[in-house]
Structure 1
Amino acid sequence: MRPLVRTAALSGYVELSRSLGLDPQALMKRVGLDAAGLAVQDRWISGAAVVHLLELSAAAARHEDFGLRMSEFRRFSSLGPISLVLREEPDVRSALGLMLRHEHMYNEVLHTRLSERDGLATIKVGLDLGEAMEHRQATELAVGAFHRVLLGFLGSHWRPLSVCFTHPAPADTGTHRRVFGSTVEFGREFDGIVFYAADLDSPNAMSDPQLRTYARQYFEAIAVPRDTTVPDRVRELIEVLLPTGRCSIEQVARSLGVDRRTVHRHLAQSGETFSSLLNATRVQLAEQFVANRRRSLTEIADLLGFSAPSAFSRWFREQFGCTAREWRDRRGQAAEH
């Protein structure tokens, strides 16, 4: 299965694209993504599609620094729930170690290593896409994001010894010099950041020792194993694709980088089918959406991928034994008591 990334990997994409005169919705559609899905940052999407999108956007905008510019939109929150724990780690070493050990929780494409030698620390960033494709923009986005994380821990005046890229320098290195300073180098043997190892022992100024225990307990409760099951991946993709109206096993298989028969086979091994997962996901989401009185039933029908409100109404009655409006009223009455 091809690796997935959280939708937060595209934080700032819409804003940056528009500022450069691009149509982000049209570009995302070309790679099978939908801008509406970016509203929920904890959903998972195809990593290859994101990498392809960044390359298309850089070419369309005629900006070789597109990925690096996107990194400037990165915040700790872009890492998802793990960011809450990182903030409370006692020092940079502990925080980076946690971040790298669990990077599969926010990005399955990334394969990052931290090494120390002769007083120097090196973060080497690698991307595993499951296929050969151009990834200059994604690499610069990843290195830029790690640089921002280090700045967050070490202060805005901190500078690395060098920032390295394997690809050649762009025609205009202005953005790279502004972001990294004069230490950026191109045509090197790896992509990453080199700095003094002593910086790893710097205390984390954001940390609150009294919150650390709670943060770690919280993390232990949400931490997931590196090997996410196929049904879990399919559920995530169903949630992303439902609002687009293109939720099909063909589209899911395309996002996972396999054919539909492979998806069927993996689901069967878990006692599931695509239809059963689709229906179960719709039931779960319907309970959340219908309980929210601010959402119209027509809007909910769209979010659940139904072609018309009448189709949603028939499905809801079959699943819940009453109309959506009746279910909403009963839920409201129960809450009042």
Structure 2
Amino acid sequence: MSGSFVSSAILVGADAVIRAHGVNPAELAPRAGVPVSALNDPDMMVPARSVLRLFELAAAACDDPSWGLRLAYSVRLATVIGPLWILLRNARTVAQMCTDFAHNFDLYTSAARITFEPVPGGGLLNWTATLGQTESEVQMAEFAMATCCNEIRTHCPPGWMPRAVLFRHAAPADLNLHRRLFGHDLRFDQDRNALLLDDTTLVQPLRGSATHVRTLVRAVLRHEGATLGGDLPAQVEVIIRRLLPFAPCTIGNVSLAMGMAPRTLQAHLQQHGQSFKNIKDAVRAELALKYLLHSSMSIGQIADCLDYGDITAFSRSFRRWHGRSARDMRAQWDARHETPSLTAR
């Protein structure tokens, strides 16, 4: 699912970073329109504008102008974009990875845009929010630049730094953290947020063989190495949860993430008395209820998120799962519970 929502996986680590400054995240999140549960639940879909607002509120409440950079220390780009990595798995060089990333970023969200453009001696990887100019994007811009930079660094020699980093906003008073992450060529008050990568960087091959890529994809879908535990059906369930909001959740994609052929996966599931279809159906049922009661997504957006081609098919499934229509259940929930404010105070 793309659009104006993003996965709450982008908030991984935010709770700890906020608390480290002596601030209560549970007080900040509702002010931004972010459900408190999304701070520790990577399966939620939250409005991108609310995440942008939370980043700015956190920086102000923590009195930390580099809050976005500090958060970037605790995450990887793969955590943020999740199974979009499946589409990047065939990249051979950093340049191709940047190109593929830019061409497919809309699968993750349309609330921001990434472009990659050649320039003499290298290329520019650009990031910009597309939510209008009413919200500050300083923290998110620095977070985005840092996570992209850290990912490219994993494919480069030790000590690598981009040739330069450009920011639209003015320079903060303290640049120590910026220099540790980006080097010394920091350019503020520019017309874009971008990493300037030289030709030597762009021709760097992506490290690892096809086996390594499959391992990486598995780690991404498992939420950066979180212990799966349990048997094969439990592993398949975790991967389906990671894949559903981003890409067609087929047995082919899931089997790829697990490094086995679809027929082999189905055979193993049958040995456990399970099937891919039944596991996917159970995950959809649980996530449908979670999104309906604890997010601001419309029923149509929930259907899209759960890989339904149309809202009618989703509605039939919801009634089969929960014994009533999605519309009726949301109305009853809203009538019985005080709905948190979804706007900043």
| TM-score interval for Structure 1 and Structure 2 normalised by the shorter chain | 0.5 to 0.7
2:206 partner SS:
coil
Question: Equivalent residue for 1:33?
Answer: 34
Q: 1:68·1:140 contact (CA, 8 Å) conserved in 2?
A: yes
The 1:282–1:15 alpha-carbon spacing in structure 2 relative to 1, beyond 3 Å, is farther
Task: Supply the distance in 2 between the matched residues of 1:279 and 1:177 (Cα, whole angstroms).
Answer: 51
Amino acid at match of 1:192: A
Task: Supply the distance in 1 between the matched residues of 2:26 and 2:297 (Cα, whole angstroms).
Answer: 20
Q: 2:15·2:39 contact (CA, 8 Å) conserved in 1?
A: no
Q: 2:110 aligns with which of 78, 97, 108?
A: 108
Question: Equivalent residue for 2:11?
Answer: 10
Question: Equivalent residue for 2:255?
Answer: none
| Per-residue CA distance 1:266-286 (angstroms, 9 max, x = gap) | xxxx56599x489459649xx
Amino acid at match of 2:31: R
1:153 partner SS:
coil
Task: Supply the distance in 2 between the matched residues of 1:237 and 1:109 (Cα, whole angstroms).
Answer: 23
Structure number with higher helix proportion: 1
2:140 partner SS:
helix
Q: 1:238·1:281 contact (CA, 8 Å) conserved in 2?
A: no
Question: Equivalent residue for 2:57?
Answer: 56
In structure 2, stretches of 5+ residues that fail to align are 222-242, 249-285, 302-309, 324-332, 337-345
The 1:211–1:191 alpha-carbon spacing in structure 2 relative to 1, beyond 3 Å, is closer
In structure 1, stretches of 5+ residues that fail to align are 226-234, 257-269, 285-304, 309-337
The 1:136–1:280 alpha-carbon spacing in structure 2 relative to 1, beyond 3 Å, is farther
2:155 partner SS:
helix
Q: TM-score, normalised by structure 2?
A: 0.63
Q: 1:71·1:141 contact (CA, 8 Å) conserved in 2?
A: yes
Q: 2:290 aligns with which of 209, 231, 239?
A: 239
Matches within 5 A, 1:1-337: 3-75=4-76, 76-83=78-85, 86=88, 89-129=91-131, 132-205=134-207, 207-209=208-210, 224=247, 239-240=290-291, 242=293, 244=294, 251-252=296-297, 272=312, 276=315, 279-280=318-319, 283=322
Amino acid at match of 2:59: A
Task: Supply the distance in 1 between the matched residues of 2:54 and 2:292 (Cα, whole angstroms).
Answer: 17
Question: Equivalent residue for 2:307?
Answer: none
Larger radius of gyration: 1
Q: TM-score, normalised by structure 1?
A: 0.64
Task: Give percent identity, aligned residues only.
Answer: 23
Q: 1:124·1:193 contact (CA, 8 Å) conserved in 2?
A: yes
C-alpha displacement of 1:72: 1.4
Task: Supply the distance in 2 between the matched residues of 1:236 and 1:104 (Cα, whole angstroms).
Answer: 22
